[in-house]
Amino acid sequence: MRLVVIDTETTGLSPKNGDKMVEIGAIAIEHGQVQMEQVFHRFIDPQCEIPHQVVEIHGIDAAKLAAEGAKPFAEVGAAFLEFIAGATLVFHNASFDLGFIKKELADAGLPGIDAMPVVDTLSMARQRFPKRPNNLDALCDRFAIDRSHRALHGALIDATLTAHCFLAMSDEDSVPASEDEPSALPTQSILDLVRDVYFELEQRHKKALEAPLPTGIEDLDEKHGGIQAGDLILIAGEAGSRKTALAAGIVHQLAFRKFDLCSVLIFSLRQSSLQWAEHALGSEATVDDSIMQSGRIHAKHWRAFAAASGKMAESDMHICDASPVSIQDIRDTCRQHNHQTSRLVILIDDLHRITLPETALRERNYSAISRSLKSLATKLKAAIILLAELPASSENNANRETEIADLQCLGCIHQDADMILFTHRGSSAMTVER
């Protein structure tokens, strides 16, 4: 079995925040030996500034990259993939290096490496030496691996040291040098500790992201846990039953207030994007619509608008007010938008403005729409909120609450929806079916 041990040096700690690789080093292990002649090593032009605090750690600045003839990763990525092809990948703190490599491959339009097996020597060390320092320096000292040439962090140097540590930990008969004789108390560099902290935080963050999305509606979140990625949520009610207000409240909660701000894409098929933005600003600033319409805006309102605008500017909300649109239009726009975030919420207002080829039965069109949207939600791992207006009740039934039977005019749409919210005219009440 061929293993390839990989290490990277970067401009920072988080590829999600725009940090990039500046060096990548890899070395092969075959037949239980480090293969010094099988090496991949490249300096990479990050095409961005390198903070001086980071340069102090690995010594790689713009001048060094220029002297080494560094190229953008897109120009060396194919050669890297060729070198690691068919191998098991070994890292020390795999989530850190893998995060950067996967991001660089995706940005370069190159194949991903998700299917390749991965070994993390940090996890190995933590299992073998719990509650002890397990950074690379500590492991080298523990197994008497010479690291005297490691004045600064370097991708190829660290990959080679990691390879020797991996072999030492893989040998069941190996005995750490520090267990044979007394030694000084172990120390850990702050950089390695911060990397460990980032690893722990990322694991907690991933776990938190698996939780349902809160809607901000206490009763709904308490009873049903919020909404899940892949859900199709139908909000149905008669005209004037505040369907749009309910949907807006949910997406604003997700776009402006949540710890992990969702990317929100709104298909506003009944009102202009400017109208939607005005309602959103008024809602976030808690300024009544009547004040905004009258233009009698006081200083306190302007201050509220300024504070709300700052919060909204940090969001990833986009509005499309083209109407009518087809299912294919929605699908293409959503797929393009989904590249920006893994937490995507789509709001479509409303069902009756979506076009489909004519069929004999109008209900058949609605069923085709709901099936397509449910499929899209599943593929994109997005939550889709669909609004649908129901026919007005007769005067005799004006006070009757809407129920599942009222959806018959929309074909089999209720069978595709994971959650159905009914709004009621003349009341703030809402009922939920799941």
The residues annotated with a catalytic role in the active site are 153
Distance CA 8, CA 391 (A): 61
d(CA 18, CA 359): 49
Beta-bridge partners for 28:
4, 35
Contact criterion met (CB below 8 Å) for 117 and 32: no
C-alpha triplet 66, 71, 77: angle, nearest 5°:
155
- For the beta sheet containing 118-120, the strands, ordered from the edge strand earlier in sequence to the opposite edge, are 33-43, 21-30, 3-10, 88-91, 118-120
Laid out side by side, the sheet with 419-423 consists of: 316-320, 263-268, 344-349, 383-390, 232-238, 419-423, 430-433
Strand ranges in 329-418 using DSSP code E only, listed in sequence order: 344-349, 354-355, 383-390
Closest to 418 measured CA to CA, from 406, 434, 395, 407: 434
- The Cα-based distances of 157 to 163, 233, 299, 372, 396 in angstroms read 10, 52, 61, 52, 82
User: Looking at residue 180, what DSSP letter applies?
Assistant: T
Position 356, amino acid: L
Q: What residues does 264 pair with on adjacent strands?
A: 317, 345
97-119 exposure pattern, b = at least 16 Cβ within 10 A, e = fewer: bbbbbebbbeeeeeeebeeeebb
Please give the sequence-ordered ranges of beta strands (E in DSSP) within 325-405, or none if there are none: 325-326, 344-349, 354-355, 383-390
CA dihedral 413, 277, 311, 20 (to 10 degrees): 70
Q: Say which amino acid occupies 98.
A: L
Nearest 5 degrees, angle CA 86-CA 91-CA 97? Answer: 100
Q: Do strands 316-320 and 263-268 pair parallel, antiparallel, or not at all (unpaired)?
A: parallel
Half-sphere exposure of 380 (CA within 13 A, CB side): 29
